[in-house]
Amino acid sequence: MERPTYYHSVMLVKEKCKGCTTCLKHCPTEAIRVYGGTAHIIKERCIDCGACIKRCPYHAKVAVTEPFKRIQDFKIKVALPAPTLYGQFKGLSDIGRLLDALIAIGFDDVYEVARGAEYVSQEVARRVAGRKVHNGMPLISSACPAIVRLIQVRFPELLDNVVDVISPMEAAAVAARRRVCQNMSAQPGDVGIFFLTPCPAKMTEVRAPQALRHSNVDGVISIMDVYGMLNAQIKKARHFPYLQHAGALGVAWAQTGGEMIAVGEENSLAVDGIENVIQVLESIENGDLSDLDYFEGLACVGGCLGGPLTFENTYVAKNRLRKLTERLPKVQAPEGEERELDREDLRTQQLLQPNPAMQLDGDFSVALQKMERIEQVLADLPGLDCGSCGSPSCRALAEDVVLGFAVELDCIFKLKQKIQQMSKQMVDLSETTRR
Ligand code: SF4
Ligand code: SF4
């Protein structure tokens, strides 16, 4: 099956970049190089985790999302608010008021992603309980698209363990379109479904879905871009309880461990922060966590609440969510006849494929030769991992040299050595000619 061309949504604003190399060290897939005075992203390696957006002191890395005016392209506009949105507003006393504010800024309907999360939780719980063969590794959540891409790039052996259930955003989009078409007698093409996102990885999930043939979402708008408009409307908004359909467990998906609790799997582990997730994935790969049933990994510290496109401090937002959900029922998604999504709706449509961007060569023996050459080049580098050469580590520079993207003299220590050697040769030469 043909794959969509590689798309990623974190970009560099060249004019703002000072070439300071701060971002270089924090990219989990070594996707950044600095040369010619500016950073460059190797797009096939970027997993849109947003780590560089958070670290750049000059705001030179940005997430590409869609402008709010895009909703005007559709006759009927539906907002899918991520539960993270609920924690962003000081003084918000109930979620219904925020949902009403979404109508006030131009949407015709709202479907909470938290309700989609309730359906997804039930389905994941079934997968974990009904697992026939335990291959010594836990099932892995598919909810964070940056982690799914990380697995495709760095841990392809774990792809079979990623649970084959769609994300809450996609589940909410299917249910929302169905509901609007039924209630408003609309055609599916007239309905524009817009996800309000805390992170760039969701934009990538929509534009280049990995486990679905097509996304059910029509557009992705940054929470940052609607924050001001919503804040102004919330004060005037009424409480429309009919818009609010999610329970506390679905809303809790916004934070680390929320999915794990909603799934109800006791023998689970939830970890946030890309570096921590990498460590755990390494342990899983090495068979050190063979007693675990389920793993929830989230790229951002604090979970989606810590996403780079959010407005509020992660911990303040978390506290707000706790208060907002105190009086909510645990679950609101109906069971039985009234279910809006059946089990088939929640299943992924295609297998996740490895991303070979970090492989040295498709041919195993050539890759082996390149590996040997990398070790030789590396042995001659100082091993300081200073980043001054524009590669994230000495090993990455050695790899770039072997792949033809850099030369050994990009290392300032090697360059200094070379200059010293050359000046000595010149002194020796001038002394010889004087004699
Ligand atoms: S952190 Fe990266 S993108 Fe930002 S100014 Fe420094 S080199 Fe450029
Ligand atoms: S978004 Fe993440 S993977 Fe992509 S360049 Fe930035 S730090 Fe690296």
pLDDT digits (tens, 9 = 90+) for 86-98: 999 999 988 999 9
CA 27 from chain centre, in angstroms, equals: 13
pLDDT value at residue 336: 73
The set of protein residues with a Cβ atom below 6 angstroms from ligand 2 is 10, 27-29, 31-32, 41, 46-52
Angle between helices 145-154 and 274-285 (to 10 degrees): 50
Ligand 1 centroid distance, CA of 26 (Å): 11
In whole angstroms, what is the distance from residue 85 CA to residue 362 CA? Answer: 43
In whole angstroms, what is the distance from residue 419 CA to residue 107 CA? Answer: 65
Residue 2, pLDDT > 60, answer no
Ligand 2 centroid distance, CA of 27 (Å): 5
pLDDT tens, position by position, 137-151: 999 999 999 999 999
pLDDT value at residue 243: 83
pLDDT value at residue 1: 39
Residue 166, pLDDT > 70, answer yes
pLDDT value at residue 132: 66
pLDDT value at residue 368: 92
Percent of the chain clearing pLDDT 90 (strictly above):
80
Ligand 2 centroid distance, CA of 391 (Å): 14
pLDDT tens, position by position, 79-135: 999 999 999 999 998 899 999 999 999 999 999 999 999 999 999 999 999 886 678
Residue 200, pLDDT > 50, answer yes
The set of protein residues with a Cβ atom below 6 angstroms from ligand 1 is 12, 17-23, 34, 39, 56, 58, 60-61
Best residue among 7, 13, 29, 154 to mutate for probing ligand 2's pocket (most ligand atoms within 8 Å of CB) is 29
The minimum-distance atom of ligand 2 relative to the CA of 45 is: 3
Q: Give the residue among 275, 210, 207, 208 at the shortest CA–CA distance from 51.
A: 275
In whole angstroms, what is the distance from residue 384 CA to residue 388 CA? Answer: 10
Strand partners, 41: 32
CB 175 within 8 A of CB 365: no
pLDDT tens, position by position, 281-295: 999 999 999 999 999
pLDDT tens, position by position, 343-354: 999 999 999 999
Task: Report which of residues 256 and 131 the model is more confident about.
Answer: 256
Average model confidence (pLDDT) across the chain:
92
Ligand 2 centroid distance, CA of 357 (Å): 14
Residue 189, pLDDT > 60, answer yes
pLDDT value at residue 266: 83
- Judge if pTM exceeds 0.95: no
CB 310 within 8 A of CB 198: yes
Percent of the chain clearing pLDDT 70 (strictly above):
97
Ligand 1 centroid distance, CA of 164 (Å): 37
In whole angstroms, what is the distance from residue 99 CA to residue 102 CA? Answer: 5
Ligand 1 centroid distance, CA of 403 (Å): 24
Q: Give the residue among 11, 9, 7 at the shortest CA–CA distance from 39.
A: 11
In whole angstroms, what is the distance from residue 121 CA to residue 80 CA? Answer: 18
In whole angstroms, what is the distance from residue 149 CA to residue 200 CA? Answer: 13
The residue nearest atom 8 of ligand 1, judged by CA position, is 17
Q: Give the residue among 345, 74, 45, 82 at the shortest CA–CA distance from 212.
A: 345
In whole angstroms, what is the distance from residue 179 CA to residue 50 CA? Answer: 33
